[in-house]
C-alpha cells in the first residue's frame, strides 16, 4: 500500500511547538512528512528541530535558487497526499481565503490541487472576530477542511475558543481527511467488518462485578484501521472510556450476554474480529442489593458460564467469510492458541502474551507482540505500538478477503 505523504505548514504562533509532537505521531503512523516553516513559525521553532523530527529537508523560503530552478513550490504543492496547516494563524487563514501568495507557504497553498486541512490557533477574540469567521466560511466553501479550535486557557492569559487541539486529535483529523480522499480506492470498500473490544463486567451486586484488565485499546485501534481502509465498521465495545474512532459505528454493552446479543444484531458481516476479553463466567444470580459482611462468613458465589461468542459465530448460518479470535495467554502461547483455533472453529487466532506484572505488559499498555495462528502455520510479529499492529493486521485481512 502507498505510504501517505503529509506536507506540514507551520504557522507563526506559540502553538507551533505542538507541531513537533504532531510530526512524531505522523511518522509513528507510518506516514512521511515534509515541513514548510513560515517566517513567523521560525520565531518559535527552528528548521533544525523540524528536520531532525521529520528526517526530511525543511523549506523556508520561496527564493531558494536550487529548489525554485526545479520549480520547488509547485512540486511541494503536488507531491503530498494532504497539506496540513498547523497552527493556522488568523493571518494565514486570511491570506488563504483571499488567494494571496506572498511567501512559500501561501504560494504552495495557492498552487495545490491537494486536499488541505487547516488547524486554527489564535487569541479567542481573533478567532471570534467577524473577519476570521468570514474567512473560515469562505475556506470551507472552497473545500478546505477547517477544524474548530479547542476551548481553554491560552498563553495570552485569556480563556475560550482558539486553543490548538491536541496533536492526537489533529492526527485523527488527518486520518479522516486521507480516508475521505482515497475511500473509493480502499481495499475494504464495500466490506462490513464486525469488531468486539474491551472487557465485560458481570455484576455480583449493584456495586461489584467480575471483570478483567482489558483496556480496549487494541480493539479500538483495529476498528480505526478497518475504517481507514474503507470498511463499514461496527464496534461492539465493553465498558471502556475511549473515544470512538472516526467513521466507526459504536455499540456500547456491559455484560457478555449483551455483547453476544449485539454481535447477533450486527450480522451479517464479511469479517468478524473478536478482540474483546469476554468474561468466561458470571454469577448465576446477581444480588439486587449490596451484599453485606456477615460476621466473617464469606458469601457463596455460584458461577455459570457465559455464552461463547466466537464458537457460536463459527457455527452460525451467517458466519462471516473471515472469522478471527484473540487469545490472551500467560504460558505456552502458541500451543494454547492452536488448540483454541481447533476448538472454536474460527479461521485465525491472534495470540499474545499477557504474563507481565498484573498483565500490564500488554493489557492497558501501548505496545503488543502478536502471533497470527492459522491452519497453515504461525506468523510472529515483533512488538509494535498497538495502532501499527492494527494497521498491519487489517492489511493482512484486506489481502485475504479481496
Task: Kindly list the catalytic residues.
Answer: 156
Reduced to 3 states, what is the DSSP secondary structure of residue 225?
helix
Does 344 carry a binding-site annotation? yes
Provide φ and ψ at 21, rounded to 5°: -65, -35
308 in a labelled binding site: yes
Asked if residue 357 belongs to a known ligand binding site, the reply is: no
280 assigned ligand-binding residue = yes
3-state per-residue secondary structure call for the chain: CCCCEEEEEECCCHHHHHHHHHHHHHHHCCCEEEEEECCCHHHCCCHHHHHHHHCCCEECCCCCHHHHHCCHHHHHHHHCCEEEEEEECHHHHHHHHHCCCCCHHHHHHHHCCCCEEEEECCCHHHHHCHHHHHHHHHHHHCCCEECCCEEEECCCCCEEEEECCCHHHHHHHHHHHHHHHHHHHCCCCCCEEEEEECECCEEEECCEEECCCCCCHHHHHHHHHHHHCCCEEEEEECCCCCCCCCCEEEEECCCHHHHHHHHHHHCCCCEEEECCECCCEEECCCCCCCCCCECCECCCCCEEECCCHHHHHHCCCCCCCEEEEEEEECCCHHHHHHHHHHHHCCCEEEEEECCCHHHCCCCCCCEECEEEEECCEEEECCCEEHHHHHHHHHHHHHHHHC
To the question of whether residue 307 is assigned a binding role by annotation, the answer is yes
Residue 309 marked in a binding site: yes
Which residue, among 199, 202, 123, 206, has the nearest Cα to 160 in the 3D structure?
A: 123
Binding residues: 280, 290, 307-310, 326, 340, 344
Binding residues for CTP: 280, 290, 307-310, 326, 340, 344
Amino acid at each position: 500500500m502507498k505510504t501517505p505523504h503529509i506536507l506540514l505548514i507551520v504557522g507563526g504562533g506559540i502553538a507551533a511547538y505542538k507541531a513537533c509532537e504532531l510530526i512524531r505521531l505522523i511518522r509513528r503512523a507510518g506516514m512521511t512528512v515534509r515541513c514548510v516553516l513560515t517566517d513567523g513559525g521560525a520565531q518559535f521553532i527552528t528548521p533544525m528541530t523540524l528536520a531532525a523530527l521529520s528526517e526530511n529537508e525543511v523549506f523556508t523560503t520561496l527564493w531558494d535558487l536550487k529548489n525554485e530552478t526545479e520549480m520547488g513550490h509547485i512540486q511541494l504543492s503536488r507531491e503530498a497526499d494532504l497539506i496540513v496547516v498547523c497552527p493556522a494563524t488568523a493571518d494565514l487563514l486570511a491570506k488563504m481565503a483571499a488567494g494571496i501568495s506572498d511567501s512559500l507557504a501561501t504560494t504552495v497553498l495557492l498552487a495545490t490541487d491537494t486536499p488541505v486541512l487547516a488547524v486554527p490557533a489564535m487569541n479567542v477574540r481573533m478567532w471570534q472576530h467577524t473577519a476570521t469567521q468570514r474567512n473560515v466560511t469562505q475556506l470551507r466553501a472552497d473545500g478546505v477542511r477547517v477544524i474548530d479550535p479547542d476551548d481553554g486557557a491560552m498563553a495570552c492569559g485569556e480563556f475560550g475558543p482558539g486553543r490548538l487541539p491536541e496533536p492526537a486529535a489533529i492526527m485523527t483529523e488527518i486520518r479522516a481527511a486521507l480516508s475521505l480522499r482515497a475511500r473509493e480506492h480502499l481495499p475494504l470498500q464495500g466490506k462490513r467488518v464486525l469488531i468486539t473490544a474491551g472487557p465485560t463486567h458481570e455484576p455480583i451486586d449493584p456495586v461489584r462485578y467480575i471483570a478483567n484488565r482489558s483496556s480496549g485499546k487494541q480493539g479500538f485501534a483495529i476498528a480505526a484501521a478497518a475504517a481507514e481502509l474503507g470498511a463499514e465498521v461496527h464496534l461492539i465495545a465493553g465498558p471502556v472510556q475511549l473515544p470512538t474512532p472516526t467513521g466507526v459505528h459504536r455499540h456500547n454493552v456491559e455484560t457478555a450476554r449483551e455483547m453476544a446479543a449485539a454481535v447477533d444484531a450486527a450480522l451479517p458481516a464479511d469479517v468478524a474480529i473478536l478482540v474483546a476479553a469476554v468474561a468466561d463466567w458470571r454469577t448465576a444470580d446477581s444480588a439486587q442489593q449490596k451484599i453485606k459482611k456477615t460476621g466473617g462468613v464469606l458469601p457463596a458465589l455460584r458461577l455459570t458460564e457465559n455464552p461463547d461468542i466466537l464458537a457460536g459465530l463459527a457455527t452460525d448460518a451467517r458466519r462471516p467469510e473471515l472469522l478471527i479470535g484473540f487469545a490472551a495467554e500467560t504460558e505456552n502461547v502458541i500451543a494454547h492458541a492452536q488448540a483454541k483455533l481447533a476448538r472454536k472453529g474460527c479461521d485465525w487466532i491472534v495470540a499474545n502474551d499477557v504474563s507481565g506484572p498484573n498483565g500490564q505488559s500488554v493489557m492497558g499498555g501501548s505496545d503488543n507482540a502478536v502471533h497470527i495462528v492459522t491452519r497453515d502455520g504461525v506468523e510472529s510479529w515483533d512488538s509494535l505500538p498497538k495502532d501499527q499492529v492494527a494497521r498491519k493486521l487489517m492489511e493482512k485481512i484486506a489481502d485475504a478477503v479481496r
